A and B are shown apart, each in its own frame.
Chain A
Amino acid sequence: MPMSDFFNALTEHSFLRNALLSAILASIACGVVGTYVVTRRITYIAGGIAHCVLGGMGAALYFQEVYGWTWAEPILGALVAAIIAAMIIGLVSLRAREREDTVIGALWAIGMAIGILFLFKTPGYNSDLMSYLFGNFLMVRDFDLQVLVILDIVVVLAGLVFYNQFLAVCFDDEFARLRGLPVELYYLALLGLTALTVVLLISVVGIVMVIALLTLPVAIAGHFSRTLWQMMLMASALSMALTTGGLALSFDSDLPTGATTIALAGLVYLVVLGGRRFLRKKPR
């Protein structure tokens, strides 16, 4: 039985337990923030933030390897880059008269370019680049796990404590402004939370596939939920199931974890779409 192999391996290998834990941690944040991202329709912004993260990871690794700054962990670099990217995109979309999608596209590419340049100058860059882009569950060490726990607590607390405010800002920001809410601050906070969530997710599926994991569980949950919090709960549960399933499948069949997880999520999404259509036609 392939699944029991996976669970046996879990008890034996600590790296696998770390991978599973990080997937579960990321799933909780993914459900809460992913729901805001999808309903507010800022998926493209989340994608831009994710790709900028490579710049931060590359720079951190470069300074760690070349200058011996041991504290410059890639996950901290990712965090800094994600927050900076989120604030730049947020301020541009609120203030500047520049076209928003142009700026996001530019940041997206510039962030990646910076990351690749740093990694190129770092000895042994090749394997790291692949891990960052497409995910590598061997990457999750105990230190990363501690950072992920803190990120999760911040994201989930903020997402739940400010639930009513975020809901109002996402649904009708003009009305929220008239009720005296600092709408722009909430928008920036939402992008900040998105940045933290992106960092959480990168350890699971890698930069390139973050958007899929941020949106697909929410999109599936959207078909079964009437309110935002139902959507969050269901998306979190789905995300946990999908990432765990993806990890187990890829471990047993020796496939890349990120790609397996996303393919699984995509498959479930298509089945749900098809099933809904089929069920809707049936009564006639």
Chain B
Amino acid sequence: MESDVIQVENVSFAYGPSLVLSRASVKITQNDFACIIGPNGGGKTTLLKLMLGLLEPTEGNIRIFGMPTKQARNRIGYMPQHAQLDLQFPVSVLDVVLMGRLGHTTLGPYGRANRAKAREALETVGLRDLRSRPFSSLSGGQRQRVLIARALACEPDLLLLDEPTSNLDLGSQNDLYELLNNLNREMTVVLVSHDVAFVSKFVKTVVCVNRSVDMHPVKEIAGDFISEMYGRDMRMIMHEHAHNSGC
């Protein structure tokens, strides 16, 4: 079925003896805006890496766009946690974004068409003017946007983002969600967030991961106190399965 973008069926995964995911099932449909939440060590990033085919499930089956994960990779734009990257690395903003065109080049220089695509992606995230700057000289929020631009340069149908809002102040977080919401018109968006209780109002589906997986509806925040504290763009998640500790 083409409308099922992500299909995770009864997937378990273990690092050696320790079980990280147990019989997880997730279904994400086309043009969904899904947020994967859960406590640290609960298996969020593992679930993302399984979807990318960077890890193989110990048990169960994953299909992306109806295909095995590795074959679907060229339709996925992936944004890793930027803290993983070496910030001393001498690389310009445009160079980073051009890496998204790697699947479309052979050897030697990237060529004019690929450069145009990379600039376009930078334009989309609003950083066109910074393209010659060293990646290391940018602020955290700008770096996240560059990495999103790199994912967009892949011309994806599915955008997977690992903690795109970590270490951002609330203003930048809201800007980022606005950007993702715009992108969501053209592609399916799935992001991992460390925040267990609140997600952006743009999020349509919440996937709750803590060894097992539950999918939750999203509800408006009622109290003025909470909305002042987290901003009016946030929504609270109704945890229907309260017996699942921590999530």
- Interfacial residues, chain A to chain B (CB-CB below 8 A): 39, 41, 161-162, 164-165, 167-168, 170-172, 174-181, 222, 225-228, 230-231
Q: How far is the CA of A39 from the CA of B88 in the complex (A)?
A: 8
Q: How far is the CA of A225 from the CA of B107 in the complex (A)?
A: 24
Partner of A226, one of B100, B107, B134: B134
Q: How far is the CA of A228 from the CA of B98 in the complex (A)?
A: 14
Q: Is the interface of A mostly helix, strand, loop or mixed?
A: helix
A-facing residues in B94-124 (Cβ within 8 Å): 95-96, 98-100, 102-103, 105, 107-110
- CB pair A171–B54 under 8 Å, yes or no, is no
4 nearest CB pairs, A to B: A179-B102, A179-B103, A168-B99, A226-B134
Partner of B90, one of A41, A177, A180, A230: A230
Instruction: Provide a sorted-by-A list of 17 A–B residue pairs whose CB atoms are within 8 angstroms.
Output: A41-B86, A161-B107, A162-B107, A164-B99, A164-B108, A165-B102, A167-B95, A171-B96, A177-B54, A178-B52, A178-B73, A179-B99, A180-B103, A181-B102, A225-B90, A226-B134, A228-B90
Which chain A residue has the least Cβ–Cβ distance from B91? A171
Contacts known (A39-B86, A172-B99); A180 close to B150, Cβ less than 8 A? no
- Interfacial residues, chain B to chain A (CB-CB below 8 A): 52, 54, 73-74, 76, 78, 80, 84-86, 88-92, 95-96, 98-100, 102-103, 105, 107-110, 134, 150, 154
Partner of A180, one of B73, B80, B92: B73
- CB pair A180–B99 under 8 Å, yes or no, is no
- CB pair B110–A228 under 8 Å, yes or no, is no
Which chain B residue has the least Cβ–Cβ distance from A172? B85
Q: How far is the CB of B125 from chain A (nearest CB, A)?
A: 17
Q: How far is the CB of A129 from chain B (nearest CB, A)?
A: 38
